[in-house]
Structure 1
Amino acid sequence: MAVGKVDAEILKARSDKREYRRIVLPNSLEVLLISDSDTDKWMRKTRSVLTPTSAHYGGHCNGEPTNMDGALTVKSLDSLSGFAQFFIKPLMSPDATLREIKAVDSGFEEVVWGRMGENEKGLYRIFEACFLPCKCLPWTMEDDVTWLTNARKLQKHLCCNNHPYHKFSTGNWDTLEVIPRAKGIDTRLELLKFYEANYSANQMHLVVYGKESLDELQRLVEHKFRDIRDTGRSRIHFTGQPCTSEHLQILVKAVPIKQGHKLRIMWPITPEILHYKEGPCRYLGHLIGHEGEGSLFFALKKLGWAMSLAAEESNRSNEFSFFSVTIKLTDAGQEHIEDIIGLVFRYILLLQQSGIHKWIFDESA
């Protein structure tokens, strides 16, 4: 079976001198080729759709896609074969599996605790839950990445417990080694079973970027990736949503470890990807996050309650998503959380009453 070229037009900026081509291999692997004569690197990115019980290195995520990417220098072009072999015939040796579990556990510890000392870890606790008009996650951590990561984990914990989003998505030594061993489960065998059941070329997308011509890139991809098996695996679809009425209108507070205050308000929404041409989240994010005179942030800053504000789609997937407003509060703002939430909703109501304006859509594009 010959490779099928897809002649659909690929839109790009006028200043973009790179060449593009989309092809489909006989095994149904969809590939985007990018030729850039000015680059000195090879880059490749593969995306595969997994199941609700899938995981990092084959076993610890919550149904989101697996992404594997990186850059190869021209001198190490042959290592692209090793990348392809991961999807064709992964070794998953016992030693490699154990090393990866340890790496996952190390990453888990870093994400959970960041750079906190032992005494600070002992102080860290959630202390209050009450009800307000939406889900709010005030959380204070040393850096934004750690704060957002832990806020997301708490949010997942508060969602519907029979939905994949609720699952523990990071994995650690206990969940990947101690508990399975106690139950007589061989983690490596489970990884192999998972690979056999879920990795299929028809559920993968590959991007290859290099300085060679499109024809040369195509020949390389055909040779290296044609043996990835196509099992005809259908795309996973989730039933239900992560939040029902009982999982909304919750306020959660956390005792600060580091100086500072943040307020995060979240709403479950329809994923923007389903309406990407209209860009509703981009439109709302532009308006709610605007810092000019008359904006929400302008009012909060004038009151002395906020230092920054961001609004965007977050924790998104193809079947469910969330929209969040994150506000960095002043000490005075921390004393007026309910007032701030009220202003957020009043501003959203104002936007709703004002309707949609094309010039704003064009400005936010």
Structure 2
Amino acid sequence: MLRYQSEKHDIYLIASEQNSNSKTLQIHSDRLELYPYKRSPHYFFRAMQSIHRKIKEINPDIVHVHGTFAGFFLRTLFFFKKKRPVVIYCSHGWAFLMDTSSWKRKVFATVERVLSLRTDFIIHISKHEYEMALQYGLSAKKSVVVYNGVSDAPSSPAVPFDVKRDKINLLYVGRFDRQKGFDLLLEVFKENRFTDVHLYLVGDTVLKDCDYDYPSNAVKIGWVDNSEIDRYMKACDAVIVPSRWEGFGIVAIEALRNKKPVIASNRGALPEIVQHGVNGYIFDFDNKEALVNIIQGLSKQQLEWMGENGEEIFYEKFHSNQMNTQIERLYMDALKKQGDRYSVTVKKYV
């Protein structure tokens, strides 16, 4: 998105120091501001101060804010200001849709509704997110759906490891945690010794007190640099995404661009990415046997055919070109929009 927009507009990026690497971000250093941040109240105030100072210096026409915490910081700053830039917000997965207690979901939804008063457009990353957000009271007039997109896979003919060609090789990519359904995946492979299937696990735990017992037909690879993920996908026959909840599922569309079908749970946006029997399989997360039956019925020939279908679907719906074009149109619409009492007139965007 940054590369695309920098060819058309004067772009600045404000991001947290946590988990940010200025050398890999696609923007020049004089257009980058990293603010101090950790997930503690002490850092919240410091982050908001830094963001406020930079916004005042830049005086932007549009602020496109990504993520729940960044959205809270920025829109709280604008809440009592009469004049502000156009604000476009994308949570990249609603907190009130997480697998948590009902009272927490209600609190998260209330905060989002209040902050939406200082938001001109809300981007939902899937139809599922959109429909659920409306049920929780967010504005339909301000809401749009823009699927996440990724660009073409880098050229990398060499595979990173030798796979068993006489086996069906499945790849899992992600955190080893409950949200991603990692416990369910290991449970299925422990209880069913799939003789013709081998599982490769890219990622690791993020909680120190979390430890797993891995089945004999699974290989833990560990964390892999994001630039190398495509090589691992190319080496395998299919990618498995068994999430309990999922805002979108970037791993799934990365698999499609590499001509790999996806075996995914029926949670979140995954059924919008995977068409059962066409570019992969969808299983009911609450029905473990459904996943077992899918794995037992896999064939290399069928997976290869599905992979070809997946690539077509990727270019049709999930390539970054579609995402960037939609967001560009949204920017133009936001600037033309005749605002209500919360909106402001902004200068022409050039």
TM class, shorter-length: under 0.3
Q: Normalising by the residue count of structure 1, what TM-score does the alignment of the two structures yield?
A: 0.22
Larger radius of gyration: 1
Greater share of residues in strand: 1
